[in-house]
Amino acid sequence: MAKKKQKSDSPVLATNRRAKHDYEVIEHIEAGIELVGSEVKSLRDGRVHFGDAFVSFDGSQAWLVGLHIDEYGPANQFNHEPLRKRRLLLHRREIEVLGGRVTRDGLTVVPMDIHLKGRMIKVGLVLARGKKAHDKRESIKKKIDKREMRQA
């Protein structure tokens, strides 16, 4: 029997729309995430809120903090805690480089989306710098100008 071809495009389960508004994106990273069964079911239902989620570095591990995954109703007593810290699955070298850039350059690592890659659930992370109020107004102005040029 021939192997089935995997789809090249990965379905997005959830996106963090505030991230592009609040941060200036520098670099994209993809990481695995350690989840329990009820979290996977809830993610597939799209019941996730990014809120003020960010990545913290603790020695040789990276943790996703502040990501709210709703409880899965049918799981009853085997449910998960919605705001627990979740471990990110990255290579040690990637964790060292990202942690160094966060502490040295004053950057932050923020989740952009959660998507499927084959059967695995992955988190799209970005290394970013926070925008100031005037930067936000400037980016909104550019977006409006682009839209008007497209319509003309």
pLDDT at 142 > cutoff 70: yes
Provide mean pLDDT across the span 113-139: 86
* N- to C-terminal Cα separation, the chain: 54
* Residues counted in the chain: 152
Q: How many CB atoms lie within 10 A of CB 120?
A: 11
Closest CA to 98 of 117, 120, 125, 131: 125
pLDDT at 16 > cutoff 50: yes
Provide mean pLDDT across the span 47-75: 89
Instruction: Please give the pLDDT value at position 4.
Output: 46
How sure is the predictor about 114, in pLDDT bands with cuts at 50, 70 and 90? very high
pLDDT in tens, 62-113: 999 999 988 888 877 788 888 889 999 999 999 999 999 998 988 999 999 9
Which range has the worst mean pLDDT, 2-16, 22-36, 82-96, 117-131? Answer: 2-16
How sure is the predictor about 133, in pLDDT bands with cuts at 50, 70 and 90? confident
**Domains of the chain, each with CATH number or no CATH:** 13-151 (2.40.280.10)
Provide mean pLDDT across the span 127-152: 84
Instruction: Please give the pLDDT value at position 92.
Output: 93
- Exposure string of 14-44, with b = 16+ CB inside 10 Å and e = fewer, is bbbeebbeebeeeeebebebebbebbbbbbe
